[in-house]
Chains A and B, each alone.
Chain A
Amino acid sequence: MSPDAGSMAESVRLTVNGAAVTVSAPPMTRLSTVLRDHLGMTGTKVGCDAGDCGACTVLLDGQQVCACLVPLTQAQGRDVATVEGLAAEGKLSALQHAFHLHGAAQCGICTPGMLMAAADLLSRIERPTEAEVMDGLGGVLCRCTGYRKIVEAVLAVPALDKGAALPEPPGAGVAVGASMPRADGLPKITGEDRFAADAAPSDALWLRVVRSPYPAARFALGDMEPLLRAYPGLKRVIQARDIPGENGFGIYPHLKDQPVLAEGMVRYRGEAVLALVGARETVEAIRDEELPIEWEVSQPLHGVAAALAPDADRLHDHAEENVLIEGYVESGDTRAAFAEAAVVAEGDWETAYVEHAYIEPEAGYAERIGDRVEVTACTQAPYMDRDEVARVIGLPPESVRILPSACGGGFGGKLDVSLQPILGVAAWLLKQPVRCVYSRVESMASSTKRHPAQMSAAAAADGGGKLTALRFSGDFDTGAYASWGPTVAGRVPVHATGPYRIPNVTASARAVHTNGPPSGAFRGFGVPQAAIAHEALMDDLAEKSRIDPLEFRHRNALRAGDVTATGQRLEHSVGLAACLEALRPAWQDLRGAAESFNAGSARLRKGVGVGCMWYGIGNTSMSNPSTLRLKLGRNGHLTLFNGAVDIGQGSTSVILQIAADALGLPVSAFRLVLGDTDRTPDAGKTSASRQTFVSGRAAELAARDLRAKILRLANAGPDAALELAQDRLLIHDGEGTHAISLGTLSEDLIGEGRFDPPTEPLDAKGQGIPYATYGFAAQVAALTVDHELGTVQLERIVAAHDVGRAINPMLVEGQIHGGIAQGIGLALMEEYLPGRTENLHDYLIPTFGDVPQIDIHLIEDREPLGPFGAKGIGEPALVPTAPAILGAIRQATGARITRLPALPHRVLAAIQAARHG
């Protein structure tokens, strides 16, 4: 237990889910700790330990409270209800049922808290209104769902037939296109799912990382012996020199620049310096000031301007003038095109560090098993983790096994390793299991962020409103270490044109090292930032051309057969025009309504904006294969070995649906083995919106491979129907039914599929085929701006997304809702400032009341390479939201927001500038 609990244990009696329990622990022990660590009830999650996120919401005498704020002593004699108590006799409560049916849980980490807040609400108000649901659940944060499906689920509870059974999963051949509840959903709503902090061997030592409080400093370590003598519970202090292998990690093979533990120098606040390993109460009780660290603090480089100054210190040998890398795309003759243009627009934009704010802080444990190490942790990239951990221990990759826990949100933030390498090292050195759980503050201070961007761009059109040229240059603050900086610098110039036909383009993006936290992968890899620039330019050019902003975009939208700035001809699945056409009626209605409203209102002004996007699915001009395997065993078990990690987005369900229909058996026939690097082939990382497209296609190929083998056994035709009955496989075709007794086969039947989307490298001018396919979308945002306060009230978002094919429309909608919520945060409130907003009350993410009604149009312009025509949705969902909001603010007020987030004071200043300008 935690040392903040006070040393003397007291015996406290309380009731938990109706059962009397006695707990002996220090009186200040948090109730969340009591439930999880003392009673083993890990359904109650810990997201912040500060009452900011509500993940640990339980009922105390029937009232919702944050269990992290209730000391054990105050639970004496009281009645506690947790998520584990919702289902009675193994039967889901109506509330849980509704959550499952409506897709209200994505990653599931906030779900227990949401359920308990909803249980509190429904005990007070039997049939709540939408506003009452929001008020009742408003104390719980969710980063995945955008809240809409949670509201939907709670509103649906009163009408649910109390005894209703869960729906049957879709049968053979009809899984693709079915809005079936998540295949991994039930444990998320019962509290049984095991997230990274939920389990560890009972003899695990505790590891605490000591972090630099300074963004730039040199340090010297003294003798650790006195510390070890003073604290018998402290087993080992690990420092850089103890790392057995290479003390560096990073995404790119040539950029392993981030040390597992710093070597005499730190480059950002939150950087790991030492690891204390021992008894939990000991490593938590040791104060950093007791450690023999001599700091020599230096002047940090804050922001790219400081880092690019001629006299700036160089942060890395690999980055001359602190420029890590520059990406570049050039086509046509930009200079000439601007000279001849009828209309030109230009501007500068600046965005902030954005924190992923997944509700589950990083956690996990490692065990040494002989000469191997196994790491269980939350991750988006098990095979990359395996290779990193192996390298820092000095082992071959096969000697490390990664076992992904349930992942409580990622959004790119769990693509880089966090605690995996140091856990692996500690378990290796100490030959004992070692466990670590980051606190919220530690997670925020140490993990990667979205790149802050400084962008300058200009665009030109001819007299007919046709785009002719675009110039873009951006500096992306990549922070202290390389991480995914090269990916951002490569992706941004390709996407800088937006989803438009522009013959003359010059676009560049630099990733620049500073003393900020490492900027890494965050839903969109720089594209959301670039979209803010190109969409503002579209609004400008539309205005100057006297063309409606949506029509201007429609006129210039990429269509099949068009050539992009990298010289790639898009042959298929270019659904932007269809998206805009789907939005047109809502756009016209909302614009009309705003105009009439504004005619009679000065203080409140309504505005409607539109944003468009495109996004290349998968890695940029790099191989990113997935391999999936299916096994039909002689025992009759049909198993899908799926290495794709479901971080809440739904890949486990979607890949299952694809495999089921490609094989021709119902989803209920499948057993799943997920993520384990010893048992599943490499399905790549959960990033770049690639799992549906790439791993989904690999699943389809694996299933078709298995199906072909089965049909060969029976010599059956391609249209045969399969039926699996225990260990008998029945194959029905025009000739009749063949029965195969699987136990009589000489070996298990294996199907394997590998898919690597076809791309080509980009040359020095960025010409080539960076992606095999692209997602397209457009969103309309309607809002009201308070002209005197600069506050923005969102009223509605209408989204149209070309997803190729919606394998599971409910999950696609969930992705769109969640992406929009993050886009709202990017636009209006999120700004990570090291040392100042490293918690969830100073760093603001959208709450229940900040996400308006969302209407969705799914456009299904089939992608022939994708499984059943599908492509990705994860990142596309977020990209157009902020541009649509900024466009709407501008239409409402004339204010051009050029610095994000558009906090009220910035909006008001922009309104005043527009008025006086």
Chain B
Amino acid sequence: MLAGGTDVFPAKANDAAWGRGREEPVLDLSAIPELRGIAQDPQGFRIAAAVTWSELLAADLPPDFDALRLAAREVGGRQIQNRGTLAGNLCNASPAADGVPPLLCLDAEVELVSLEETRRLPLSTFLLDNRSTALRPDELMSAIFVPRPPAGARSTFLKLGARRYLVISIAMVAAWLRPDADGKVAEARIAVGACSPVAQRLSKLEADLLGSPLDESLAATATPRHLEPLAPIDDVRASAGYRREAALTLVRRALAQLAAKPLGRVA
């Protein structure tokens, strides 16, 4: 399955270098008009499968897409953003996929089509494991749905890597909050990437944040206990222990950022 080619060609290059090249049938999706563009209706936003990171950045989307927009700016360089697609990022199912934590926070669903049916899955059930998804061999991803967010929601995204551009995450965090009229957390969604085979929402933390005032105390709500669902590994980029610690720091910073936004912007 080929759209922007940003995963297909690198894999070919690596295989060729070790005499493992093989010809495989490729289905090019790029010329299908139905797979292009971002549409919206009262229910939400439909990001078609061939939408690139650059197209997302250029689209007029509400503030709670901020996390996704920030992630889009961190995906490779501009060359990759101009070619790579959000759907490809999800189907490739890397633990370090930049799009996953923000989309988990947006409660995104994916639309999968086959000759038999069109089905929708929550992103969290679509992603099964490192490089493994619920996509069947006879299916392709046609779109990503983001339900229309409740008014006033805000989000942010923090990515940690060892250099400024073109970097694979050591850890990343997307955070999404909806304050109530009193400036307290009415709803919270926090997701951490690159610290488990599939990026995780931290549901215990999300629950514990409810009712907290959006002030400087918010960040301290997050504790190491909340990160227990993560399963970070040691690799060339960082140690597991560091990832766990850094993820907590990033979660706290993301919360602090969201708490620091003036309430005036909420309405």
Q: Which residues of A contact B (CB under 8 A)?
A: 2-4, 6-7, 27-28, 30, 48-52, 54, 57, 60, 63-66, 68-71, 73-74, 117, 120, 134-136, 138-141, 210-211, 213, 284-289, 291, 439-442, 445, 788-791, 828-829, 831, 833, 836-837, 839, 841-842, 844, 846-850, 901, 903-905, 908-909
Contact = CB atoms under 8 A, between A and B. Distances in A.
B21 A74 contact: no
A117 to B, nearest CB: 7
A789 B246 contact: yes
Interface stretch (B59-67, B75-83, B111-119, B143-151): B75-83
Interface in B9-29: 9-10, 12-14, 16-23, 26, 28
Contacts of B16: 2, 4, 284, 439
Given A6-B23, A70-B5, A135 B78 contact: yes
Nearest to B167: A844
9 contacts: A50-B14, A139-B166, A829-B163, A842-B168, A844-B163, A849-B164, A903-B238, A905-B241, A908-B246
A288 B20 contact: yes
Contacts of B165: 134, 138-139, 847-850
Nearest to A825: B163
A837 B162 CA distance: 14
A273 B122 CA distance: 49
Contact of B162 (A63, A70, A903, A909): A903
Contacts of B12: 4, 49
B21 A284 contact: yes
B101 interface: no
A467 B243 CA distance: 42
B236 A842 contact: yes
Nearest to B162: A829
Given A440-B13, A829-B163, A844-B167, A4 B21 contact: yes
Given A50-B10, A51-B6, A904-B162, A65 B237 contact: no
Nearest to B166: A847
A288 B22 CA distance: 11
B9 A50 contact: yes
A27 B28 contact: yes
Nearest to B5: A69
A901 B237 CA distance: 11
Contacts of A74: 5, 28, 30-31
B163 A847 contact: yes
Contacts of B54: 63
A3 B16 CA distance: 10
Contact of B76 (A134, A139, A445, A790): A139
Contact of B2 (A71, A291, A848): A71
B79 A57 contact: yes
B239 interface: yes
A357 to B, nearest CB: 13
A829 B237 CA distance: 9
B160 interface: yes
A117 B78 contact: yes
Given A51-B83, A64-B78, 5 more contacts: A48-B13, A57-B79, A64-B82, A117-B78, A790-B246
Nearest to A61: B82
Contacts of B6: 51, 69
Contact of B79 (A65, A836, A848, A903): A65
Contacts of B168: 841-842
Contact of A51 (B9, B162, B246): B9
B4 interface: yes
Given A50-B9, A440-B13, A909-B242, A287 B19 contact: yes
B236 A831 contact: yes
A64 to B, nearest CB: 5
Contacts of A789: 160, 246, 249-250
B70 to A, nearest CB: 13
Given A65-B83, A287-B20, A287-B21, A844 B78 contact: no
A889 to B, nearest CB: 14
A289 B14 contact: no
Contacts of A901: 162
Interface residues of B, number: 50
B13 A441 contact: yes
Contact of A908 (B10, B23, B242): B242
A54 B160 CA distance: 22
B34 interface: no
A135 B72 CA distance: 13
A210 B19 contact: yes
A289 B15 CA distance: 12
Nearest to A2: B16
Nearest to A843: B236
Nearest to B14: A441
Interface in B208-262: 236-239, 241-243, 245-246, 249-250
B47 interface: no
B236 A286 contact: no
Given A57-B79, A288-B20, A69 B9 contact: yes
Given A139-B79, A284-B16, A285-B21, A788 B5 contact: no
Contacts of A848: 164-165
B14 A286 contact: no
A281 B151 CA distance: 58
A790 to B, nearest CB: 7
A901 B16 CA distance: 30
A781 B237 CA distance: 24
Contacts of A791: 160
B79 A841 contact: no
B98 to A, nearest CB: 13
A4 B23 CA distance: 6
B192 to A, nearest CB: 14
A903 B237 contact: yes
A849 B80 CA distance: 17
A904 B250 CA distance: 14
Contact of A788 (B162, B237, B249): B249
B79 A64 contact: yes
Nearest to B30: A74
B170 interface: yes
Contacts of A841: 10, 166, 168
Contacts of B17: 439-442, 445
Question: By CB atoms of chain B within 10 A, which of A28, A73, A134, A135 has the most?
Answer: A28
B5 A140 contact: no
A828 B10 CA distance: 26
B163 A850 contact: yes
Contact of B78 (A6, A120, A141, A909): A120
A828 B23 contact: no
Contacts of A847: 163-167
Contact of B166 (A65, A68, A141, A441): A141
Contacts of B13: 48-50, 68, 439-441, 839
